[in-house]
Amino acid sequence: MTTYNFDEIIDRRETDSIKWSKKYLEENFGDEDSLPMWIADMDFKVPQPIIDAIIKRAQHGIFGYGHKSDAFLEAAVHWQQKRNGWSIQKEWILFTPGIIPALNFIVETFCRPGDKVILQSPVYYPFAKIITNNGCQIANNPLVLTDGEYKMNFEELEKIAQDSRTKLMFLCSPHNPVGRVWSYDELKRVGEICLKHNVLVISDEIHSDLIYLPHRHIPFASISEDFKMNSIVCTSPSKTFNLAGLHISDIIIPNKTIREELNHKLAAIDIDPGVFASVAQIAAYHDGEEWLEQLLHYLQANLEFIEKFLRERMPKVKLIPTEGTYLAWLDFRALGYTDSELQQLMQKNAKIALDDGYIFGSGGESFQRLNFACPRETLAKALERIEKSLNG
């Protein structure tokens, strides 16, 4: 067994990382030395088998066009069976160079300008941009926060879904930024409402391997035959194994008609996995599980570290329980700052780069999102800076 050292601090500054780019930090957070705890990638090295596979492929020395090989697709099939007990077929998988491109292609394919797409704010902010950039309307069904727990508003969802212009629902499962892992009953209700009103469910499951016990991820399409035929499940090894810069996603579409429609669009622009993306996915899904199990332990301990730190040193800042993802959703409402005051405090006083809650849409005001996929020493530094800025 390999023991991975997640405490290792690795300098990412000169590696074209947007998270650590001095220029980006200066322009967007007001200081090139801001401590970056924002965008969702990790400050950890990937599993050794992935590094080995990429080196081996690099040493071959020829990097012509790649393709969606059987081994690439079978790796995704294997992973769904192993982690989620979901049997899929390799023919169901389409490739896109990321989930954001996939969501764009999906809206372009299945909506006409003026159509509505459901999202549930606060939610991963590119969803809104994808909808409006394609001339569509956002049909927002805000999540409801009661006693520190986010729930879906099913009555409102049904009303929105009834509108004949509502064509798609973007389901974020698990939900970034609030950290919910939706239960079987919640997913079932979403599925039933969407089925009844002919709304296609786009289930973004990019964070689905990052789940803390006792929670369990349920692939939306695995719930019933009807849901399987009325959904597109977006998956990727990128969050799980820290491969976002390799641009890989596996878009699972069991319904042949829907799949062919989307594939028609993708075929026209001819996109296939790059050669490094191919070997990375194969190595990740076949040989990355041992690393992932160790990562989950480390992330869980980071989460406990945050909880303890807040409880003991910043009791007015509340952590919404994180059931999945490596993103902590911090509630600053009790401190009474406006969003711009809170932003100033984090950027100017704490010198820390977080994602402001309001960018995730209504309900995100007075929250901050903190990416805790980093060595504990970095996390401690970030929390100490926040504490100091609040005290100052």
Annotate each residue in 199-218 with x if it binds ligand PLP (CB under 6 A) or - if it does not, as one string: -----x-x------------
Distances (CA, A) of 163 to 77, 110, 117, 142: 36, 16, 11, 17
Calpha distance 103→78 (Å, rounded): 24
**Residue 100 lies near ligand PLP (rule: CB under 6 A):** yes
Pull the structure tokens for residue 181.
Answer: 């892992």
Segment lying near ligand PLP (by CB under 6 A), choices 18-26, 97-105, 135-143, 266-274: 97-105
Query: Footprint of ligand PLP on residues 249-268 (CB under 6 A)?
Result: 249
Instruction: Find how far residue 103's CA is from the centre of its chain.
Output: 13
Looking at the DSSP assignment, which residues form a beta bridge with residue 201?
A: 169, 231
Binding status of residue 40 toward ligand PLP by CB under 6 A: yes
CA distance 126 to 310: 29
List, in sequence order, the alpha helices (H) in the chain.
22-29, 48-60, 70-84, 99-110, 126-133, 154-162, 184-196, 225-229, 238-241, 256-269, 275-287, 289-313, 339-344, 376-391
> Regarding beta strands 166-172 and 200-204, do their DSSP bridges make them parallel or antiparallel, or are they unpaired?
parallel
Q: Report the residue from 30, 98, 245, 321 that binds ligand PLP according to the rule CB under 6 A.
A: 98
Choice from 203, 238, 366, 378 touching ligand PLP (CB under 6 A): 238
Which x/- pattern, by CB under 6 A, does the window 53-92 give for ligand PLP? ----------------------------------------
- The minimum distance between CB 103 and ligand PLP, in angstroms, equals 8
Residue 230 or 242: which CB sits closer to ligand PLP? 242
Stretch that binds ligand PLP, among 11-19, 95-103, 110-118, 179-187 (CB under 6 A): 95-103
Contact between 176 and ligand PLP (CB under 6 A)?
yes
Q: Answer whether 81's CB lies under 8 Å from 108's CB.
A: no
- Residues in the interface with ligand PLP (CB under 6 A) total 13
Q: Which is nearer to ligand PLP, 30 or 98 (CB)?
A: 98
- Asked whether position 244 contacts ligand PLP by CB under 6 A, the answer is yes
User: First and final CA of the chain: distance in angstroms?
Assistant: 47
Does residue 142 have a cis peptide bond before it, meaning omega lies within 30 degrees of 0?
Answer: no
Query: What is the contact surface with ligand PLP in residues (CB under 6 A)?
Result: 40, 98-100, 124, 172, 176, 204, 206, 236, 238, 244, 249
